[in-house]
Structure 1
Amino acid sequence: MKRPAKETEESARKISRRAALLGGAQLAFAGVLVLRMRSLQLGQSSEYRLLADENRINIRLLPPSRGLILDRNGVTIASNVQNYRIVLVREDAGEPREALERLAQLIPLSEPEIERAEREILRHRPFVPVTIIDQLSWEEVARVAANAPALPGITPEVGQTRFYPYGADFAHAVGYVGPVSERDLAERENPEPLLMIPRFQIGKIGVERELDDNLRGSAGHRRIEVNAVGREMRELDRQEGDPGTNIELTLDRELQAFSLARLGEESASAVVMEIATGNILALASSPSFDPNLFVRGISIDDYAGLRDNDRRPMSNKTVQGAYPPGSTFKMVTALAALEDGLATPEERVFCPGYLEVSGRRFHCWNRGGHGRVNLVSALSESCDVFFYDMAQRVGIDRINAMAARLGLGIRYDLPLSGVSSGLNPSREWKRARRDAEWVVGDTINASIGQGFVLTTPLQLAVMTARLATNREILPRLVHKLGGVEQPIADQPSLGLSAAGLAQVRRGMSEVSNSNRGTAYSSRIVDATMRMAGKTGSSQVFSITAAERAAGVRRQSQLPWNRRDHALFVAFAPEETPRYAISVVVEHGGGGSSVAAPIARDIILAAQNRGLPPLDAYPRSQRNRIESMINTISEQIGPAAVPTTGRSRA
């Protein structure tokens, strides 16, 4: 049936209204979408671009160039050289063992090295580059590069590693670097990401360790594009890091080399200080070792040789060795007595060869005695009885205070490993550490640098510098940091009596320059370079009554490790002191016969700024000295050239 026209027209109007409403709603929705898209694309584009980049771009750290270490004249004593290495990516190389065996046909790889590399590869994700071997020669790298098509996933790279051009000369002071270990990371509360770089090198001992934060520098970075699973696709940009700070030490390369060569094969040490500044010019510990062995990977045999050597080449004896100072301590006792007016320079003490105290005899080194001696002759001839007598007058409290005043028993703040404070004993120390009271016999022993007293060669050099100047000289090892000269510490007066100090210095002069002095055979005949010093021998073991009965009477008849230590301290020139020196020869026997000649040669080299001048020696000794100087000169060569290739474990 046909619908009326009016009803049809009404129905059409309703449909049109609904269509208009629906169309309007659709148009509004589309408008909202357009506005939102506009906001995302224009207003918030930077934010979403960053989010997208973070999903597809990784930032990887680049190790910085390590700062150089130089001597006081700008000679480089720790440098950086190119380090060729081989890296492997497992997903490209395939089965690790097969890839490593192919590589071993081109460069030497032992079975333990292959096994270690295989374990390292399997510890990482397949797309992570793993260093297989480093310290390669250019020839080895060239062979790998030439065979690259047959070695998928294996790539040669170049980086930097540390090199010490003067080898053993600065091993104990400068130290060496090595890869970051788990122990290194554990010592740091929040290790910086730079330390996580595979085989990144940090300082292990010496200046390299103590100033590592300065030398290390700050990391650079490179941005790389990676795919969804983190695989590297391409490098987008690179920013190199800031290199480490260069450090200039106070050490003098030539004097350091001469000092170490002069110590020879002895288990010994020598410290030379510039008195006016406290600058340490030489810090020689013998025997030494080549720090490059540790950087390149020391072999088992080489390490065992260093570890098992009874002369302890790994120990820095200049600051770690603590020895009884023996008679080099006698100036402390003398000044303690003079400062408090308990003795006068003119008074004499009779030495029959011993002093009896509380029913016990304390012997002088000269069993026949020295007769009547005053302060100057007691120092010159090193009479023990004179200082036994002084010790009873002053007591340990004054001796302890004077020793501290002269710089003993102090741990100096230097960028060196294991700096010892020695031991300046007191009543309180013995009570706390030994649970016993101090007795007069302890004071007698301390007065001649025996008993509980322990000093380092560095402390003895400081003591000598203070005796020469009456000022609080402090040792200094860093001259410039990043080209900026470091301040010299204040040197206030010690306030010692000028008259008393003059007598002590006169006694030290006669040690070397009087024909009755214990070091007269090591005198310097050039008046402009003459030295004032003091010999010392510190007892390690006593010769027992049974040994004496069996005929063992001299140091040379004892096993090496039971002989006395030999010591000598001096300053020069005598009239206007510029240098202070201490020499300790472990188990060397006599300070006058062993340590004094070494000290004389080194302090002459310091004054001459080169090899010792021959005309400064007594004429009768010049032929022998000339031969010795020529031998040492041949041993002191130019800087070594970096060698490529690896040491073998």
Structure 2
Amino acid sequence: MSDNLKTSPNKKGTNKKGGDGNISIPTDVLQGRLTIILVLIGIAFAALFFKILMLQKNNAVEYNKKILSQFKYESKEIPYKRGDILDRNGTYIATSEKVYDLILDAKQINSNQDKYLEATVNLLSEFFGYSTDELRNVIAEKSDNYYVVYAKNISYEQKIQFEEKVEEFRKTQKEAKEPKEIKGVWFEAKYKRMYPYGSTACNVIGFSGDESSKGYAGIEQYYNDTLTGISGREYGYLNDRSSLERIFKDPIDGNMVVSTIDLNIQKIVEKYINEWQNSTGSNMTAAIVMNPNNGEILAMATSRTFDLNNPRDLNPYYSQEQQDAMDDKAKGEALNNIWRNYTVSDTYEPGSPSKVFTVASAMEEGAINGNESYNCRGFEEIGGWKIRCANRNGHGDINVTEALMESCNVAMMDISRAEGGKKFYEYQKVFGFGLKTDIDLPGEADTSSLVHTAENAGATDLATNSFGQNYNTTMIQVAAAYSSVVNGGSYYKPHVAKQILNSKGAVIKNIDPELVRETVSAHTTIFINEALRRTVAEGTGGAAAVAGYDVGGKTGTAEKYPRGNGNYLVSFIGSVPAQSPEVVCYVLVDTPHVADQARSAYASSLFSKIMTEVLPYMNIYSNVDEGIDVSSFPSAEGITDSSTQTEAETKVYSREEVIPNDGENDLPGAPAGETQE
């Protein structure tokens, strides 16, 4: 017998040693012990299971977070819509259109290439025309990336059509033995800024960046905070049941800006500027049309335009060879020059339109009453300079009204001298020269250092300033100042925005006319308006006449600095109807591309063409009164005498205005801060 234990049927509770020395354990005792061991093991497992349950209950969120942290999960931005820009009639001139970026989930596609890759690549290629090789390369190179922006600006129509193709493909694969699937393709919404009218009103509107998040130039920049909304966001979080859920914070769309611009008037202005540029042309041609009675800008245009939908295109102005030679800084400077709004940002010597302000300020101060006469012999010698008149032969005896009609420099010098430098320069500020108009457009030029003061002006400065030379202005300054003189003396802040609306179209804010100050009295306005009417009817402004309308205005022919090079800036500013203006138009032609530049008729004829279409459109009806009796106007003394001048007499002085220079000491140079081109 072996040494192993043996069991035998002994009596209960006894152990006996056999003859061979082995101990025998009863069967029932052994089974009892095994049962105890099994029970203990069961208890241990139960305790362990209970412990796991408690850990799961008490630490589920923490453990789930640890698990989720192994996955790449980010909150997703939901784009807002940038506010629209409308013209005064409600036409959309800038808007945002929802488009989509095509996103590839390369990781998902690569998770089962046999099933997903070829089907996805082939459908993308078939529908969008993408290269299959390029698609495969991108998916391979970005194999661990779940977010690859493959294409931008997919239209809503394209997105829907592609999704329909995907659905059709899935239906065809239902009965296939080894069905393929389109996976890892989705679309992410965003907004793209759109300008329905291309370059129209580009100087006023400005443009927005690729993501419609920042404005550049024009209304887009000045009202950027108004137009900008707040992005929404999609968040992921764990709820009380430790389940991953998503919540959405809706975006807040930007507010809309209703501009004062009338798209139809803007198109008329641009049509004639383009017509001029395509025929004769100039270095710069620009025009402003505004309401003189509230400061609203109805149109603002220059010959320096750009496509708002493609604002960084240099091709219209630079050859490819020139562009290739530019570094980033040079390209940036070139673009900024194209985007620059000449009517607000560039300065120049205004020339003879400033004679309106010389006469107006002298009348306000009582230095003249309108009855004065002056003797013009073609020049005056002041401070050692021979300063010539527009008519080198001289106008002879000429009164105040005729001095405006025939643009006599000598009379203006005499008038400013009678007024005195102190008052003359005070009124320069009253009319806004040397001050910003604070128009609601970016980049307004600071002319504070380009205008004389009584403290730093000499006799020659006063003389030349009286007819618009040797100080600098901007177009918007001249237009606003002129409007105040012809409207009865109210200087309104010029502005290009009329209303602010919310994204639903409800009015948030009306931008009311802002009266800044009073400039002249009604008496002065009546005198000036009649003189300006006669300037067009009988004087130098004949080319600005509009058939059937009573037009008032002033010509300008300023010789550019440096003098003696034959370069001129010609202009015309006019108002209709002459005695109670409803519209002002200022046209400027800088350096006409002709041999004989000194002809204000270039600008005057542009004014005439523009107004011939604008006036009927604005429902401003013909109001010419052939038998007007100006003596019936209150406080109109001084007008009657000049208005009785015969046609034969007026023809003597009705010639083109020029400010010539044929001698070394004819005219002093421009002050510091010469005209910027």
* TM-score where L is the length of structure 1: 0.69
Q: 1:533 aligns with which of 537, 544, 553?
A: 553
Distance 2:99 2:335 in 1: 34
Q: Distance in 2 between matches of 1:109 and 1:460?
A: 56
2:540 matches 1:518: yes
Contact kept in structure 1, 2:409 and 2:467, CA below 8 Å: yes
What amino acid is aligned across from residue 568 of structure 2 in structure 1?
Answer: D
2:81 corresponds to which letter in structure 1? S
Tell me by how many angstroms 1:276 deviates: 2.5
Name the CA shift for 1:385/1:299 in 2 (closer, same or farther; >3 Å): closer
Structure 1 residues 48 and 200: CA distance shift in structure 2, 3 A: farther
Question: Hey, what's the Cα distance between the residues in 1 that align with 2:391 and 2:336?
Answer: 30
Task: Encode CA deviations 1:552-598: one digit per residue, 9 max, x unaligned.
Answer: xxxxxx8xxx6311111122111222112211112133563111122
2:246 is matched with: 236
Change in CA separation of 1:66 and 1:254 when aligned onto 2, cut-off 3 Å: same
Identity across matched positions, percent: 23
Match of 1:164, as an amino acid? Y
RMSD over aligned CA atoms reads 4.5
Q: Is the 8 A contact 1:535 1:591 kept in 2?
A: no
Segments of structure 2 that go 5 or more residues without pairing to the other structure are 1-46, 112-116, 170-179, 324-330, 502-506, 627-677
- Summarize deviations over 1:272-326 as a string: whole Å, max 9, x none: 11122221111112232210013xxx55646746979999643211211212110
Distance in 2, Cα, partners of 1:427 & 1:412: 18
User: Which residue type is aligned with residue 194 of structure 2?
Assistant: F
Match status 1:461 vs 2:479: yes
Q: 1:533 to 1:46 in 2, by over 3 A?
A: farther
Instruction: Map 1:129-208; keep pairs closer than 5 Å.
Output: 129-136=147-154, 153-179=184-210, 199=211, 201-208=213-220
Alignment counterpart, residue 484 of structure 1, candidates 490, 501, 508: 508
Provide the residue aligned with 2:308 in structure 1.
Answer: 291
How do 1:123-134 residues align onto structure 2 when only pairs under 5 Å count? 126-127=144-145, 129-134=147-152
Return the alpha-carbon distance in structure 1 between the equivalents of residues 219 and 339 of structure 2: 15
Q: Which amino acid aligns with 2:588?
A: V
Deviation at 1:343, TM superposition (A): 2.9
Residue 499 of structure 2 corresponds to residue 474 of structure 1: no
Counterpart for residue 578 of structure 2: 574
State yes or no: 1:72 paired with 2:88.
yes
Q: Is the 8 A contact 1:172 1:315 kept in 2?
A: yes
Query: Partners of 2:269 and 2:336 in 1: how far apart?
Result: 17
1:216 matched to which residue of 2?
228
C-alpha displacement of 1:239: 4.0
Partner of 2:258: 248
Paired residues for 1:82-161 under 5 Å? 82-92=98-108, 126-127=144-145, 129-136=147-154, 153-161=184-192
Q: What's the secondary structure of 2:441's corresponding residue?
A: coil
CA deviations over 1:456-487 (Å, ceiling 9, x no partner): 22112111210112112221221111123424
Q: Distance in 2 between matches of 1:144 and 1:47?
A: 39
1:281 corresponds in structure 2 to 298
Residues 84 and 159 of structure 1 are in contact (CA less than 8 Å); yes or no, is this contact kept in structure 2? yes
Q: 1:258 to 1:611 in 2, by over 3 A?
A: farther
Q: 1:428 to 1:94 in 2, by over 3 A?
A: farther
3-state secondary structure, aligned to 2:252 = coil
| 1:506 aligns to 2:510 (yes or no) | no
**Partner SS, residue 499 of structure 2:** strand
More divergent stretch after superposition (86-95 vs 326-335): 86-95
> Which digits, 9 at most, give the CA deviation of each residue in 1:36-83, with x for residues without a partner?
989x87xx9999999999998743221111111111111111112242
Counterpart residue number, 2:432: 407
Aligned equivalents of 1:376 and 1:331: distance in 2?
10
Unaligned runs of 5+ in 1: 1-29, 180-198, 227-232, 432-436, 545-557, 619-649
1:335 paired to 2:360: yes
Q: Of Structure 1 and Structure 2, which has the larger fraction of its residues in helix?
A: 1
| SS of the residue 2:518 aligns to | coil
Distance 2:144 2:214 in 1: 28
- Per the alignment, residue 381 of structure 2 pairs with 356
Give the length in aligned residue pairs: 522
* Mapped partners of 2:360, 2:514: distance in 1: 23
Deviations 1:228-253 (A, max 9, x none): xxxxx998343431111111111111
Instruction: Report the Cα distance in structure 2 between the residues aligned to 1:427 and 1:126, rounded to whole angstroms.
Output: 69
Give the partner amino acid of 1:65.
K
- Say whether the 8 Å CA contact 1:423–1:455 is kept in structure 2: no
C-alpha distance in structure 2 between counterparts of 1:571 and 1:476, whole Å: 18
SS at match of 1:586: strand
Calculate the TM-score normalised by the size of structure 2.
0.66
Distance 1:272 1:131 in 2: 46
